[in-house]
Amino acid sequence: MKSKEKSPANQLVELVVIVVVALGLALGIQAFLVKPYRIPSESMEPTLDVGQRVLVNRIGTHFSDPSVGDIVVFHPPKGAEAGGTGQCGAPQPQGAACDKPTSQEASVNFIKRVVGVAGDRISIRNGHVIRNGVPEKDAYILPCSPGGECDFPKTIVVPKGMFFMMGDNRGASDDSRFWGPVPKKWIIGGAFATYWPPKRIGFL
């Protein structure tokens, strides 16, 4: 017995359903699992260039905390989106990085590297992080000349439930040095791979 051929109208309806389901799956994956993100500035050079695109795992941080060295996308504290040196949530002692963010999160997304977690004692010399008395292994950063943005020799302690973020381009990054550490609830996810341009495809 021959199968009944579908009419053009039925074929069109089936195609529309397939497209809608595919779009729904794509949107669902972006909303809950993996989201693409475009690098907007030079703050993560040389690791990530302007215009490069990465994939961000949106569910990983629900099950475990980011670790030192991870690259994450997050909402910074309100005031950081203005650029420049941002806004600290408390008066900064001379020679110390900001140790407290403003109470509200900004709506913009930033991407930086985790250089300190709760309880870590952090100071910064010539752009190099000194964490709990041990210099960061930072072959991935761009050099940072001695000066105001590169030197915070006075030690601060990262508060409970927060993460201290810095860009790899230490002389051209607006980060936790100026607007403080970031609460876990403001972290969107960890960047785990780069997919554009093709010559830079790979895992982070």
Catalytic site positions:
43, 112
DSSP tag of 76: P
Element (H, E) at 111: strand 110-117
Q: Are 146 and 126 in contact (CB under 8 A)?
A: yes
DSSP tag of 172: S
Query: How long a stretch of residues is the chain?
Result: 204
User: Structure tokens of 96?
Assistant: 């110390």
What's the half-sphere exposure (Cβ side, CA atoms, 13 Å) at 202? 5
Residue carrying structure tokens 């550490």: 181
As a whole number of Å, the end-to-end CA separation of the chain is: 56
Main-chain dihedrals φ then ψ at residue 196, nearest 5 degrees = -155, 135
CA 54 to chain centroid, in Å, comes to: 10
